[in-house]
Amino acid sequence: MSRKSNKDTQVQKKGKSENLFKLAKTMMPGGVSSPVRAIKPYPFYTKSAKGAFVETEDGERLIDCVMGYGPLFLGHQPECIKTAIREQLENGWLYGTPSEHELELAKLIISDHPSIDMCRFVSSGSEATMAAIRLARGFTGKKNIVKVEGGFHGAHDGVLIKAGSGATTMGVPDSAGVIPEIAEHTLQIPYNDPQSLEALLSKNDDIAAFIVEPVMGNVGPILPKKDYLTEVRKITKEHDVLFICDEVICGYRVGIGGAQVKYNVVPDLTTLGKIVGGGLPIGVFGGRREIMEMVAPNGPVYQAGTFSGNPLSMTAGIAMIKEIHKEKHLYDALDKCTDFLKNSLPEEYQNSFVKLGSMFKLFFREAPPQNYIEAKQSDTAKFGKFWKGMMKEGVFLPPSQFETNFLSIAHGVDIVEKIASAYCSALQDC
Ligand SMILES: *Cc1c(COP(=O)(O)O)cnc(C)c1O
């Protein structure tokens, strides 16, 4: 039997992700289960993750600012969620019947969101927005929807039109396979421009809903201008159009009650996901009682799912939200962390560093973007160079100019200082 020297195992370890990816590409399109993960020339494979760190199959330990693209507000493996999942495992993880956990999570969500009287659990954010849009059409009897350019609401046909996230990076905002008859019922307006919504709703009276990420999170964070959300709420009400806040990213991220509480608006319907599942798959749509009563089996708008309300996601979500309530002060602490990051940057970059609480992004352009078109004017080549530089410094950022970076409460001050010095080094080289 040959014994491998330490050096050999190190070499073998070093190439492991590359080899896994080669094999993956033979079995899965692009080698991945979701496009943004297909980092060039090959993504690292994660072996484990704890707190604010991921450990790669190549033996590296990186500070993680991707955090599962948003859900992991408490970091990887927080004890409270781990315990909840472990306890639930002993009782089974899928029943095909109601379980009491659904009531507990619904109660937390409803009491944190004044706009939500009732909610339905699904298994992903995409499913939630798909159902919310169907519900809006069922409730209003109208056909079209309006979304914001670059707004991402998941990967289903009706919203894959000038969508953000992976679709933006790849420059294929319209997916093949979405038939024009569906796409033509999704109208687009720019973010932060209430007049364009007013103009559109004035000339088209067959619009069921306006769906928007109240804080855009899928072309990088773009913040609402002062009164933008209040104004679109007013306009939609005047035109009898439902206002859907897609808070799949900002729910519990920008504060308890999400952006709607922070900016003091009351949507008709809300979609949630990511954080509310405690890191397990989930989606939620909810809103005004008279609208939600239209959902099957109460009403004529059909919606169903095998894994909906599954007890593992429910218990993980309950543990997450309870912990957030206990540790409310950490919203302020995280906000200070991203302030610190911003202030640590070389001065010429500070203006285009956009942040809201634990969401942040440096845009490679002169000023913070106000909408999708402005975000798209960023220097993505420079971003690519910067991203690689950050990896060399041991910090894993989302591999796209158009994805938001996240801190979690596991990112203590010392880690944030490391991220700051990594930014400065990486920026020096690009
Ligand atoms: C992530 C996201 C979705 C889709 O959620 P999935 O769980 O990935 O299906 C929808 N809307 C917004 C705003 C999101 O950020």
Centroid of ligand 1 to alpha carbon of 225 (angstroms): 23
Q: Does 152 contact ligand 1 (Cβ within 6 A)?
A: yes
Q: Does 270 contact ligand 1 (Cβ within 6 A)?
A: no
Q: Where are the beta strands (DSSP E) in 28-173?
A: 46-50, 53-56, 61-64, 118-122, 144-148
HSE-CB for 91 with a 13 A CA cutoff: 13
Residue closest by Cα to atom 10 of ligand 1: 153
- In the predicted model, residues of the chain with pLDDT beneath 70 are 1-12, 164-174
Q: Give all domains of the chain, ordered by start, each with its CATH number.
A: 44-75+329-428 (3.90.1150.10), 79-326 (3.40.640.10)
The runs of H, that is alpha helices, within 123-172 are: 125-140, 166-169
Residue type, 242: L
Centroid of ligand 1 to alpha carbon of 362 (angstroms): 22
Where residue 255 falls (left for φ over 0; alpha for ψ -120 to 50; beta otherwise) is: left
- Structure confidence at residue 166 (pLDDT): 60
Residue 16 host element (H or E): helix 16-27
Read off the pTM.
0.95
Of 265, 255, 228, 391, which is closest to residue 335 (Cα–Cα)? 255
Residue 11 host element (H or E): helix 6-14
Centroid of ligand 1 to alpha carbon of 219 (angstroms): 13
Q: Considering just the CA atoms, what is the radius of gyration of the chain in Å?
A: 22
Residue closest by Cα to atom 6 of ligand 1: 125
Which single residue is written with the structure tokens 């297909």? 38
Strand 61-64 and strand 242-246: pairing? unpaired
Q: How far apart are CA 8 and CA 376, in angstroms?
A: 45
Handedness of CA 295, 299, 301, 307 (dihedral sign): positive
**pLDDT tens across 244-264, in order?**
999 999 999 999 999 999 999
- Structure confidence at residue 168 (pLDDT): 47
- Structure confidence at residue 173 (pLDDT): 44
- Structure confidence at residue 175 (pLDDT): 86
Residues 268 and 95: beta-carbon distance below 8 Å? no
Neighbours of 416 (CB within 10 A): 20
Which atom of ligand 1 is least distant from the CA of 127? 9
